[in-house]
Amino acid sequence: MFTTGCGMSTRCYRFVMDCLIPSEVQCPHCWEPFTVEIDTTQGSYETVEDCSVCCRPMTLRVACDSGEVTSIDASP
């Protein structure tokens, strides 16, 4: 069995990477778009992320269904 540097098996690593979906959101502060990685294994959830452009925090409300991102809402 092969492992990654963090000790995960390659099969497990591929599963985790397949569940992280890059998605573009627009910052509610500076209005610039940027990419976040959405974990589709969590179902629907809320998280706080910092804008990669202006560094201000925002709340992301994420909805996922069957490993797909169905909606992302960003608010201050």
Q: Could you state, in order of their start, the residue ranges of all structural domains in the chain?
A: 10-75
Which helix (H) or strand (E) element contains residue 69? strand 68-75
Q: What is the pLDDT of residue 27?
A: 98
Q: Beta strand 33-39 with 57-65: parallel, antiparallel or unpaired?
A: unpaired
At residue 67, the pLDDT reads: 79
The number of residues making up the chain comes to: 76
Residue 47's pLDDT is 95
Q: What pLDDT sits at residue 66?
A: 76
Would you write out the chain's pLDDT as a tens digit for each of its 76 residues?
A: 444 444 444 444 444 456 889 999 999 999 999 999 999 888 899 999 999 999 999 999 999 987 789 999 999 9
| CB distance 29 to 76 below 8 Å | yes
SS3 assignment, position 28: coil
Joined tokens for residue 28: 């509610």
The answer to whether the CB of 19 falls within 8 A of the CB of 40 is yes
